[in-house]
Amino acid sequence: MRLILMSLLSGTLFGIGLALSQMTNPDKVINFLDLAGNWDSSLLFVMFGALAVTLLSFSKILKRSGSLFDKQFYLSNKSAIDKPLIIGAAIFGIGWGMSGYCPEPSVAGLGLVNIEAVVMVCAIYLGFFAHGVYQRMSKDS
């Protein structure tokens, strides 16, 4: 129960941060990605703000033997910079630039009762599913 409440609280903070910083405004995201146009660098400050906190806190938190309520940390143990990482990130960037939506504002957009967010979330799950199929096919061959 504690885990669920903390998740809810963290998600709520996260959502307020997203909306205040206007990450939820896809036009603003596209203007951030438009270096050659009327560049709006605001979203760089979102990353600065978030990293200023996490760079300090994560190293302290991860020195603990485990998390407060779950006794352990669930971290990726991958370290190789491999093809799927780079190709996947490149594909994600293309999708991000096309609409101005990454997964965060797509979820927040559901709360804004925005039809674009509904389309995004459905299409994202379709992409997840397609990747599952792709993985099974590449394992078989």
Partner 1 sequence: MENFTPYSALFGGILIGLAASLLLLCNGRIAGISGVMGGLINTTKEEFYWRFAFLIGIVISAFLLKHFQPELYHPREHFPIWLLASSGFLVGFGTRMGNGCTSGHAICGIARLSMRSIAATSTFMVSGFLTVYCIRHVLGISV
In the range 69-88, which residues lie near partner 1 by CB under 8 A? 69-76, 78-81, 84-88
- Both structure tokens of 53: 């906190």
Binding mask 13-52 for partner 1 (x = CB under 8 A): xxxxxxxxxxxxxxxx-xx-xxxxxxxxxxxxxxxxxxxx
Residue with smaller CB distance to partner 1, 75 or 137: 75
CB of 63 to partner 1, least distance (A): 11
Residue with smaller CB distance to partner 1, 71 or 139: 71
Kindly tell me the sign of the dihedral angle through the C-alpha atoms of 54, 6, 15, 75.
positive
DSSP annotation string for 116-133: HHHHHHHHHHHHHHHHHH
CB of 65 to partner 1, least distance (A): 11
Q: Provide φ and ψ at 22, rounded to 5°.
A: 65, 25
Indicate whether 89 belongs to the interface with partner 1 (CB under 8 A): yes
Binding mask 121-140 for partner 1 (x = CB under 8 A): xxxxxxxxxxxx-x------
The angle, 0 to 180 degrees and rounded to 10, between the axes of the packed helices 115-140 and 83-99 is 160
User: How many residues bind partner 1, per CB under 8 A?
Assistant: 118
Q: Phi/psi class of residue 72: alpha, beta or left (left: φ > 0; alpha: ψ in -120 to 50)?
A: beta
